[in-house]
């Protein structure tokens, strides 16, 4: 799951849903790299964090690895 957070208020809204997201593999794109924003983003226990305007090539690589791992290790992913 990729969560693109528009602003700090959006992050606050997502954090209210954190119980529903605990078993999800998350790639989190935050609105800024402020230490407080990063700290709050880590509450979601994402697999990867980057900021808006960051290198989305890195997001692509992480997502590719996550999909590949799913296909290898998940019974549902096996053909």
**Residue 59 CB contacts under 8 Å (≥ 6 apart), including other chains:** 2, 27, 29, 48, 50
pLDDT digits (tens, 9 = 90+) for 41-79: 999 999 999 988 777 888 889 988 888 887 887 777 655
**Residue 48 CB contacts under 8 Å (≥ 6 apart), including other chains:** 27, 28, 58, 59, 62
Which pLDDT value is given to residue 71? 82
Please give the Cα distance from 39 to 33 (Å, whole number).
10
pLDDT-derived band at 14 (thresholds 50, 70, 90) equals very high
Radius of gyration of the chain (CA): 13
Please give the Cα distance from 10 to 41 (Å, whole number).
11
């Amino acid at each position: 799951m990729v969560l693109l957070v528009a602003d700090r208020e959006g992050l606050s809204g997502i954090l209210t849903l954190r119980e529903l997201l605990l078993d999800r593999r998350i790639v989190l794109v935050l609105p800024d790299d402020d230490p407080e924003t990063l700290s709050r983003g880590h509450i979601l226990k994402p697999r990867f964090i980057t900021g808006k305007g960051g290198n989305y090539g890195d997001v692509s690589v992480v997502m590719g690895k996550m999909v590949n791992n799913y296909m290898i290790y998940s019974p549902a992913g096996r053909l």
